[in-house]
Structure 1
Amino acid sequence: MKVALHAVAATKQGASTEVIAGTLRGLRHAAPENDYVLFLNSELDIDLPAGTSRIEARLGGAASRILWDQVSYPRLLKRIGADISIACFGFTAIRPEVPQVVILQNALYFCGIPKTSPYASQRSLRLERWLLHRIVRSANSVVVPSQTMADGVRPWLSHSSGGAIVIPDAWEYEVSDVMTRSWSEPWKLVYIAHLERHKAHLELIDIASELRRRGRRAVFSIGIDEKDEPEIYAAFTRRMAEEDLADWFDVSGRVPRAAVTKKMLAADCFISPTKCESFGYSYLEATGAGLPVVSSDIPIAREMLGDGALFYRDASKAADQIERLSAEPSLGVELAEKARSHQKLWTLTWEEYGERLATVISSLSSSPR
């Protein structure tokens, strides 16, 4: 069987390259008899498993991307004789002429952030959301990495789809020992997440202001790049200056994957203000480094961390939770260990991920389009 993997939506930020390489590795392990053809943006460099064919898409702006997805991709599927299409990051042809599995990795399109919030969709994002909803409705199968994501997607599925299939993303990173943190002021807080509206970096300024009002001192280490979201970056730096909090933030650019653990190990606590996530790699990175987590109280955080974190709904409560950890360092150890135990129950290797995805593919091999 010839399996086409549409990964043109992958970007350099986030975990896209790891997901692509891991998915292919898992599929080749689970179903080595299949031929795999990867469609990838020509600007993305990635090491692929041996035996994987690659077809590059040279794209311009949004219009050319939509044209490629809806016109060029179906033609290419026919040309290569594909039997199945897998959309690795959601976006793909609405109606290819072969059965299609749509894997959703970005919760922003389905998490229901109110349009009146500062994290509401821009016009282009609303168009993307409309398009992705059409794709989801026409898919033969929809795969998501968490139950929270499945709940968010449910209203957009066709009645005949049977619901989204939950296959957790794989996690194969080295873990560090859980240790008691020093919590000497200035406290060292870390938030490693690329700059997007729903990541809510601006709320860190509110938390910093509240801690300062209480006479505390902390430094927030964050990795953001102006190129990702220029408007949000400008708003963040402007507010940081207005609040006179520049010395409260250690702002670097994108943090390479290999450097994430090092930053985590140097911190006392991981603080996460995010408004929605599909899976929450950052939670796993934090607990992998043995860090206690203080997180916004959202469903995906509860699903990923269980009882192994402290949660908050506003800046005042966030400050309360940070102060609580500083006063009880042993609590941080207890929470990190609880989070790890919780995550071990359902995290997969890429081989296990490939086996589950191969089962979905096999079930559609004889399905009509």
Structure 2
Amino acid sequence: MKIIINAISANTGGIVTYTSNLIEYIGREDLDAIIYVPRTFNAGLIESPNVTVKKVPVKRFFGPIHRFLWEQIFWRKIVKKSGADILYSSANYGVLFPPIKQVLLVQGEIYLNPVYRDKVLPKLPISEQISAFLRRNLMLFSARHSSITIFPSEVALNAALDYGPDIAENSVVNYLGVGDRFAATESRREWRQDGQLELLYVSVFYPHKDPVTLAEASRLLNDQGLPTKIRITMEAHDFDPWPSSRNELTALTSDRYADCVNIGRIEHQQLTDALKSYDAFVFPSMAETFGFPMVEAMRAGIPLIVSDIPIHREICGDAALYFKLSDPVDLAARIKELDGSASLRATLIDRAKKRAVNQFSWEKHISALRGSLDSVFAPKKIRVLINALHARTGGGVTYLRNMLPLLARDPMLEVHLCAHEDQQDVLPKAIDNIEYHFLRFERGFWKVLLREQIDLPKLARRLRADITFSPANYGPIFAPNSVVMLRNAVSVGFVERRPVKLAYWALLFVATLVSLAASKRAIAVSNYASRVGTGFMWDWTRSKVAIIPHGVDGRFRVNRKVKRNENTILAVSDIYVQKNFKNL
């Protein structure tokens, strides 16, 4: 299997961590991978014979619109020419109409988070709110055009389903991992070994990161007589894209926190050693989709104190202390609680290490990712919705009675049948591997035609049907991948003389032509049916019409032992004008 990976967003934060580990661990799989990264990405240490890392062939993107257009046009061409079987888009958005099957990872779409939506987004400029709306819908549109969408947590998945419940069927949760290097515990700092409490918060700045709550908690602790210093790994330039958050930078660098707050980046490669040099790890963020720094701290064996939000509960479980969101007083109380109990610290560290190893390993993530890729690469069942609304008598019922058991036995088909509730005694029932959908409405000629055009497309989209098959001359115009069967001789109208019946056959002929024009393919039971059914559109539609004659059940083979009455003629048919019983 050959895959092409879009990691073009790997500039800062968790996506860099993810991409670095993805390259390392996917190189151990039996996969041929091409990974595109930004020009700033350090790929110098990558050594894998089956992983090729390429820099994106553009110097810089001039804003999100330029990036979006480049990916949808030029990146799509790169993917198409790559010869890959699957495109793995690892940063929230994908190709909207991918030329090959696509797997999408949504790992940083914080705009979906309900806490972010309620507490952070309303405070941002209107331009950022519009951007959030566009990004959210771009993610959902990308998910709808992906074979599988992966979320790093249940919280992230449920947040997306609040906006797009239709993506649930093809969405999975696959926890991210933490590198083995974080397991090193040699030369760890003793608790308050110099009489001072050293706390660490690892994050770049975004409006939901809430660093001031931690700064204020440290101020309170110092004022209460517990010497405390904190390190926040943010840089002043992190705040530049967020003018509405400049007040937070002003606060962090003010005289109030001058003796207890240090800000400044710690490079990810140095983070392993840095975690040994602090007493506790604090994560006051208001919203996350996963939280790489928490998992890395858990694996490193440093006790955690985190804000009490659903994602932190999901990731940390009982391996952390929790404080009320954006409450520095409660945070200070939790820090003092941890300071006062060596047994609590030991318990949290032990739980955190086990949880990180058991739930958040890169081996598990890559194994699950490989499973997703394999499931996409493997042949999938074709989901067929059969429109049986018109099968009440005659050949329509006979056709379904013979075909449904055969379709149900095909291992590559998932068959759904839609009919009216009054057809339950007419159609074959209780066939394994066929799911029945009966519509309830007052039966009537015009009502059936109308409901067919409304209810069938809705059902097809809800089921995510690959094909909508109407074994009659006409079917729902707006159903996805419609296939119709031309089996009724609409030329009957030429021998009909009754006005009402003439109108019926004329309507049937028009409905056939419209359905044929809207369909992807058509099946004709004979060459005659194809030409009569398509009428003047034959030259235009012949490429989409396949001639497939009906079959006959094996029970109708000749039995020469039976004595026949030569003076008896049996005529089997419903009564229609074209059957010519008068001459018979």
- Normalised TM-score (structure 1): 0.88
**Aligned-residue CA RMSD (Å):** 2.7
Quote the offset at 1:100 in angstroms: 0.9
Matched, 1:305 2:316: yes
Q: More relative contact order in 1 or in 2 (CA 8 Å, sep 6+)?
A: 1
Amino acid aligned to 1:220? I
Unaligned runs of 5+ in 1: none
Amino acid aligned to 1:128? R
Amino acid aligned to 2:42? D
- 1:338 aligned residue (337, 348, 351): 351
Amino acid aligned to 1:224? M
Match of 1:262 in 2: 273
- 1:353 aligned residue (365, 373, 376): 365
| CA–CA distance in structure 2, aligned partners of residues 141 and 157 of structure 1 | 14
SS of the residue corresponding to residue 199 of structure 2 reads strand
- 2:41 aligned residue (40, 44, 48): 44
Summarize the Cα distance change of 1:220–1:25 in structure 2 as closer, same or farther, 3 Å threshold: closer
Matched, 1:323 2:323: no
Given that residues 92 and 109 in structure 2 are in contact (C-alpha distance below 8 angstroms), is that contact kept between their aligned partners in structure 1? no
Given that residues 288 and 340 in structure 1 are in contact (C-alpha distance below 8 angstroms), is that contact kept between their aligned partners in structure 2? yes
- 2:288 aligned residue (270, 277, 280): 277
Summarize the Cα distance change of 1:93–1:229 in structure 2 as closer, same or farther, 3 Å threshold: farther
Match of 1:289 in 2: 300
Matched, 1:135 2:146: no
Quote the offset at 1:243 in angstroms: 6.0
Amino acid aligned to 1:331? L
Match of 2:506 in 1: none
Given that residues 295 and 301 in structure 1 are in contact (C-alpha distance below 8 angstroms), is that contact kept between their aligned partners in structure 2? yes
Given that residues 137 and 157 in structure 1 are in contact (C-alpha distance below 8 angstroms), is that contact kept between their aligned partners in structure 2? no
Matched, 1:204 2:214: yes
Matched, 1:5 2:5: yes
| CA–CA distance in structure 2, aligned partners of residues 21 and 261 of structure 1 | 15
Summarize the Cα distance change of 1:181–1:107 in structure 2 as closer, same or farther, 3 Å threshold: farther
Unaligned runs of 5+ in 2: 383-465, 467-584
| CA–CA distance in structure 1, aligned partners of residues 306 and 371 of structure 2 | 35
| CA–CA distance in structure 2, aligned partners of residues 209 and 237 of structure 1 | 16
Amino acid aligned to 1:140? S
Matched, 1:98 2:100: yes
Amino acid aligned to 1:274? S
Quote the offset at 1:289 in angstroms: 3.0
CA deviations 1:149-204 (Å, max 9, x no partner) are 22222334463651521222122233244876137653211111111222221222
Match of 2:154 in 1: 147
Summarize the Cα distance change of 1:16–1:114 in structure 2 as closer, same or farther, 3 Å threshold: closer
CA deviations 1:223-269 (Å, max 9, x no partner) are 112233324774233113556211111222x2112322333222221
Quote the offset at 1:116 in angstroms: 5.7
| CA–CA distance in structure 1, aligned partners of residues 55 and 271 of structure 2 | 31
Summarize the Cα distance change of 1:243–1:112 in structure 2 as closer, same or farther, 3 Å threshold: farther
| CA–CA distance in structure 2, aligned partners of residues 205 and 244 of structure 1 | 9
Match of 1:166 in 2: 173
Matched, 1:226 2:236: yes
Amino acid aligned to 1:39? Y
Summarize the Cα distance change of 1:255–1:317 in structure 2 as closer, same or farther, 3 Å threshold: same
| CA–CA distance in structure 1, aligned partners of residues 206 and 167 of structure 2 | 34
CA deviations 1:265-317 (Å, max 9, x no partner) are 22221111012222222112222332111110012222222212110112211
CA deviations 1:50-82 (Å, max 9, x no partner) are 343325231322221011121112222222233
Quote the offset at 1:327 in angstroms: 1.6
Q: Percent identity?
A: 20
| CA–CA distance in structure 1, aligned partners of residues 216 and 376 of structure 2 | 49
Larger-Rg structure? 2
SS of the residue corresponding to residue 166 of structure 2 reads coil
- 1:66 aligned residue (51, 65, 68): 68
Given that residues 25 and 354 in structure 1 are in contact (C-alpha distance below 8 angstroms), is that contact kept between their aligned partners in structure 2? no
| CA–CA distance in structure 2, aligned partners of residues 115 and 23 of structure 1 | 30
Match of 1:20 in 2: 19
Matched, 1:249 2:246: no
| CA–CA distance in structure 2, aligned partners of residues 183 and 325 of structure 1 | 15
Summarize the Cα distance change of 1:317–1:37 in structure 2 as closer, same or farther, 3 Å threshold: same
SS of the residue corresponding to residue 117 of structure 1 reads helix
SS of the residue corresponding to residue 227 of structure 1 reads helix
Quote the offset at 1:142 in angstroms: 0.8
SS of the residue corresponding to residue 29 of structure 1 reads coil
Given that residues 26 and 353 in structure 1 are in contact (C-alpha distance below 8 angstroms), is that contact kept between their aligned partners in structure 2? no
| CA–CA distance in structure 1, aligned partners of residues 352 and 253 of structure 2 | 36
Given that residues 96 and 142 in structure 2 are in contact (C-alpha distance below 8 angstroms), is that contact kept between their aligned partners in structure 1? yes
Match of 2:428 in 1: none
SS of the residue corresponding to residue 142 of structure 2 reads helix
Quote the offset at 1:212 in angstroms: 4.3
